[in-house]
Chains A and B, each alone.
Chain A
Amino acid sequence: MYKSRTGQEVELERYMWIAQYNDDSVLMQFNDDDNTFHNFDEIDQSKLKTFRMVNTTDPKVFFDIRFNPETMKLIHFYRNQRLRIGAEDLKIRLYCFGYEKKDSVVLNFILPDGGLVTADDKNFVFNFTVS
């Protein structure tokens, strides 16, 4: 379990982010050295070189954004769907990351099966079907 800046205990996620700065120092969302959890707003985007989403059980699986703070604004959030409430409650958690530019957005969605979808719409609709 990791501790946030407010003292909340936070469980490791399936994917976590690692922010690499221009001086090659890193800020990790989940830091094993001191068991701390870092919120997205702790990233100093003005110094960001690479934003990586890495699979926490298989670190060979990762996705990088080469970041340009002059033209990009970083995006990261979880999109949660609760399907079939009242029946067999199904929870889907998408790991969403990307960036905004002046007139566009690039958003990646990591799916439950590890697949990656890239869209230019924050409100891209998946319409998951449950059988």
Chain B
Amino acid sequence: MAATVAIAEFNGAGETKTASITNSNMGSTDAVNLVVATYPIVPGENSYEKWQKIEVTNIGGSTAIQNLKVWRTTALGGSAVHVTNARTSAYGGAETYAQPVATDSTVADQTMPTSEPASANLGIGGALAGALTAAGLSDYLVHQIQTDAGDVAGASCTMNYQYDEIA
């Protein structure tokens, strides 16, 4: 079968993993699969960071997964910005887990792309050219929504990702 790939999220002080998340909703708590109406973000404040990884749960008959790309589509609400550690150049290597915060992220210092990046922007094993040759995880994808005091509503956006599979 083709490789099985999904998103895993990590939360709390204990780096608790949830495999195959059902949504990437950003809100005012550090928890997975959020119901946004329950955890709204106060205008002018940030969402809690999301610490996620692309996970190959089964490589199937393939020999490698590589060339990871992540991006968001659809505009954010108001003047909010979406920041991330994902980048196509000067990649900082694999991030070490830290409990997600709602203060300005010191890890997510890039702007999340809003169209498919021209090249890999999320690493494996600390390198954009890295590959998974068995079940395993990418580097951390860290992202956060930073709102403006004048923002009155959120937005429904979607995350997208791409990977190459060598069979």
Contacts and interface: CB of A to CB of B under 8 A. Distances in A.
Interface centre among B161, B166, B167 (most CB of A within 10 A): B167
Given A123-B119, A126-B116, A127-B115, A81 B160 contact: yes
B111 interface: no
Contact of A8 (B22, B60, B115, B164): B60
A85 B63 contact: no
Nearest to A4: B61
Interface stretch (A20-28, A56-64, A72-80): A72-80
What is the size category of the interface that chain A forms with chain B? 20 to 34
Contact of B167 (A9, A39, A82, A87): A39
A116 interface: no
A78 B167 CA distance: 8
B16 interface: no
Given A8-B60, A10-B61, A11-B2, A86 B163 contact: no
A84 interface: yes
Contact of A85 (B60, B118, B158, B166): B158
Nearest to A10: B61
A80 B164 contact: yes
B9 to A, nearest CB: 12
Contact of A40 (B67, B117, B167): B167
A80 B5 contact: yes
A77 B5 CA distance: 16
Interface string B59-93: 01111000100000100000000000000000000
Given A77-B166, A86-B22, A125-B116, A39 B1 contact: no
A37 interface: yes
Contacts of A65: none
A111 interface: no
Contact of B61 (A37, A82, A84, A123): A37
A103 interface: no
Contact of A10 (B1, B22, B73, B166): B1
A76 B63 CA distance: 12
Interface string B119-145: 100000000000000000000000000
A83 B115 CA distance: 11
Contacts of A82: 5, 160-162
B99 interface: no
Interface of B: 1-2, 5, 7, 22-25, 60-63, 67, 73, 115-119, 156, 158-167
14 contacts: A2-B61, A10-B60, A39-B61, A77-B164, A77-B166, A78-B167, A80-B162, A81-B116, A81-B161, A83-B158, A86-B23, A86-B158, A96-B164, A123-B118
